[in-house]
Amino acid sequence: CVIVATGDAVKQHNLKPMARLISWNIAAVPPEIMGIGPANAIRQALKRADLRLEDMNRIEVNEAFSSQYLAVEKELGLDRDKTNVNGGAISIGHPLAASGARLLITLMHELKRNNFKYGVASLCIGGGQGIAAVIENIA
């Protein structure tokens, strides 16, 4: 079960959150290069959070297909020791309409398991978009 709640709702219902959403971004790119959208979304989400890629302890990038992921990795200079450490969508799966939730849950558990602070998750979106969310472990 995934619950997204405000701080007030967390207090009111005595919830114990695993993570806090620090920032997010949706970026647009030309449709013919839609797979690179996560790179722009990650950059902008990090800028909004006043954080750098180097501050991220773990990174999850959905693999719509292998060359798409490799393009994002190259564009951002991603560290493979910090990115998709439990496998990506090619090995875990790409559940229709649930990939974003899958990425965030994987990221939250990875941050908690290792007592890490920050992570970013991102996906490309057909038609020329990318989306990214920066979270902080508070578990």
pLDDT tens, residue by residue, 25-37: 999 999 988 899 9
State how far the Cα of 8 lies from the Cα of 14, in Å rounded to an integer.
10
Architecture per CATH, domain 18-137, reads as: 3-Layer(aba) Sandwich (3.40)
Reduced to 3 states, what is the DSSP secondary structure of residue 54?
helix
pTM for the full predicted model:
0.93
User: What does the pLDDT average to over 15-27?
Assistant: 95
Inter-residue contact 30 to 16 (CB < 8 Å): no
pLDDT tens, residue by residue, 37-74: 999 999 999 999 999 999 999 999 999 889 999 999 99
